[in-house]
Structure 1
Amino acid sequence: MKLQPDKSDAQTLTAHGPGWVAINNEKVEGSVVVGSRGERFAWDCTRFDQLGPEHFAQLASLGAELVIFGSGTRIRFPQPAWLQPLMAQRTGVETMDTPAACRTYNILAGEGRHVIAALLVERPTGG
């Protein structure tokens, strides 16, 4: 039996690298919010320590069933109080590093779920 994934019209995260992600093969530099129902906008933060409650309140306004927070090059958790707007409307939140968030978003979006990936994309330092 041949197994084929369901056809999905959701945006996909097709690649990632230092300081960028690709959405439907289009390279986007900097942090971004992307959703399975066409949501897409720049997320105003370039470092984890710039995040605050307003960033997560913005995500709550999108009405997704799940938010995947990509915390950058390593896993870091937001303050629990920042997640209150999402928890109040029973929106799930999962935190992982940004590469893992890209992969997880693609799987869930491909299943037809209303999912948002909030991706902290840190610029490379030095070197």
Structure 2
Amino acid sequence: MKLQSDVSFAARPITAHGPGYVTVGGERLTRSFLLGPAGIDATWGPDSFDGLSTDHFAALAAVPCDIMLLGTGSRQRFPAPALLRPLIEAGRGIEVMDTAAAARTYSILVADGRSVAVALIVE
């Protein structure tokens, strides 16, 4: 008997990324966005890391997934603990890395059939 992994949910692969863009399933995005099992939310993101607010993290806390990633732009930066309050109150964790690393990690986890969401700051 041959077993195959079936990744048939709405996950869209990240196929490319570079300075100022991320390509998701053939769609080139030039603004920050949230990508999860339900698809792309192009309205999620701030224009830069410094624009992150508790509202952004409240939106992340509402995403139904097992793993949450945050890509912080061209370099890894950690959000102020006060911004993370919505995630803490929801009992959720988040893995923080630069956007390129978050894109790669998301793609690996999706290919493995994991329930994952990624919020990417595109700069």
- Once the two structures are TM-superposed, the CA of residue 88 in structure 1 deviates from its matched residue by 2.8
Listed one character per residue, the Cα deviations across residues 83-105 of structure 1 (whole Å, up to 9, x for unaligned) are 22223333220000000000001
The alignment status of 1:44 with 2:8, answered yes or no, reads no
TM-score relative to the length of structure 2: 0.86
Instruction: Give percent identity, aligned residues only.
Output: 43
Contact 1:11 1:38 in 2 (8 A): no
Could you tell me which runs of 5 or more consecutive residues in structure 1 were left unpaired when the two chains were aligned. Answer: 123-127
| Structure 1 residue aligned with 2:84 | 83
SS in 2 for 1:92: coil
Supply the AA of the counterpart residue of 1:40.
I
Supply the AA of the counterpart residue of 2:117.
I
SS in 2 for 1:76: coil
Could you tell me which runs of 5 or more consecutive residues in structure 2 were left unpaired when the two chains were aligned. Answer: none
The alignment yields a C-alpha RMSD, in angstroms, of 1.8
The count of aligned residue pairs is 118
Distance change in 2, residues 1:65/1:86 (3 Å) = farther
Q: Which moved more, 1:106-115 or 1:66-75?
A: 106-115
| Structure 2 residue aligned with 1:64 | 65
Give me the whole-angstrom Cα distance separating, in 2, the residues matched to 1:63 and 1:88. 15
